Amino acid sequence: MRTHQSYLGRPESVEPNVTETPQHALLSAAMSPFATTTMPVQLTPLWGYSTKDGASVKALLHVSADDLLFVAGDDGRSVATAETVGVVIDADGSVVTARTATFSVHRDAGDASGGGVTYSLLVPLPKPGGYQLRFAVRDTHSGAVGSVGEFVDVPDVGHGAFALSSVVLGVGHDAPEAVTIDETSVGSAAPAARQFRPGDQLLYTYEVYNAAGPVEAAPSVWHDGMQVFKARADSLAGAKSSGPLRTAGALHLGPTLTPGDYVLQIDARTATPKKKPSVATTRVDFHVK
pLDDT-derived band of residue 189, with 50, 70 and 90 as boundaries?
low
Q: Are 97 and 116 contained in the same domain?
A: yes
* Residue at a domain's end among 154, 183, 211: 154
Q: Are 118 and 76 contained in the same domain?
A: yes
Q: Where residue 61 sits, what CATH number does that domain have?
A: 2.60.40.10
Angle at 127 between CA 279 and CA 4, to 5 degrees: 85
Residue of higher predicted confidence among 35 and 241: 35
* Strand runs labelled E in 189-277: 195-196, 201-209, 215-223, 226-230, 234-236, 245-252, 260-270
Q: Are 137 and 225 contained in the same domain?
A: no
Residue of higher predicted confidence among 191 and 154: 154
Q: Are 198 and 239 contained in the same domain?
A: yes
Q: What is the mean pLDDT of the chain?
A: 83
Q: Are 198 and 139 contained in the same domain?
A: no
In a domain, 10, yes or no: no
In a domain, 3, yes or no: no
Q: Answer yes or no: is pLDDT of 26 > 90.
A: no
CA quadruple 128, 207, 43, 78: dihedral sign: positive
Mean pLDDT, range 104-132, rounded to an integer: 82
Residue 105's pLDDT is: 84
Q: Are 175 and 239 contained in the same domain?
A: yes
Q: Are 50 and 144 contained in the same domain?
A: yes
Q: Are 210 and 130 contained in the same domain?
A: no
Which of 4-8, 17-21, 25-29, 50-54 is most confident? 50-54
Mean pLDDT, range 141-168, rounded to an integer: 93
Residue of higher predicted confidence among 31 and 85: 85
| Percent of the chain clearing pLDDT 90 (strictly above) | 43
Mean pLDDT, range 162-191, rounded to an integer: 65
* Residue at a domain's end among 154, 185, 202: 154
In a domain, 99, yes or no: yes
In a domain, 228, yes or no: yes
Q: Are 187 and 288 contained in the same domain?
A: yes
- Could you tell me if 220 and 227 are in contact, meaning their C-beta atoms sit under 8 angstroms apart? yes
Lowest mean pLDDT among 80-89, 167-176, 196-205, 246-255: 167-176
Mean pLDDT, range 183-207, rounded to an integer: 77
The domain tally of the chain equals 2
Q: Where residue 192 sits, what CATH number does that domain have?
A: 2.70.50.60
Residue 7's pLDDT is: 63
Q: Answer yes or no: is pLDDT of 199 > 60.
A: yes
pLDDT, one tens digit per residue, over 219-270 is 999 999 999 999 888 888 765 566 788 888 999 998 998 999 999 999 999 8
Q: Answer yes or no: is pLDDT of 86 > 80.
A: yes
Q: Answer yes or no: is pLDDT of 19 > 60.
A: no
Q: Are 149 and 170 contained in the same domain?
A: no
* Residue at a domain's end among 110, 138, 154: 154
Q: Are 163 and 279 contained in the same domain?
A: yes
Q: Answer yes or no: is pLDDT of 5 > 50.
A: yes
In a domain, 232, yes or no: yes
pLDDT-derived band of residue 209, with 50, 70 and 90 as boundaries?
very high
Q: Answer yes or no: is pLDDT of 176 > 60.
A: no
Residue 119's pLDDT is: 86
Rounded to the nearest 10°, the torsion over CA 177, 181, 183, 187 is 90
In a domain, 2, yes or no: no
Q: Are 135 and 32 contained in the same domain?
A: yes
Residue of higher predicted confidence among 106 and 4: 106
Mean pLDDT, range 163-180, rounded to an integer: 73
Which structural domain range is residue 62 located in? 19-154
In a domain, 231, yes or no: yes
Beta carbons within 8 Å of 164's beta carbon, 6+ residues apart: 206, 207, 208, 209, 266, 268, 280, 281, 282
In a domain, 5, yes or no: no
Mean pLDDT, range 198-209, rounded to an integer: 92
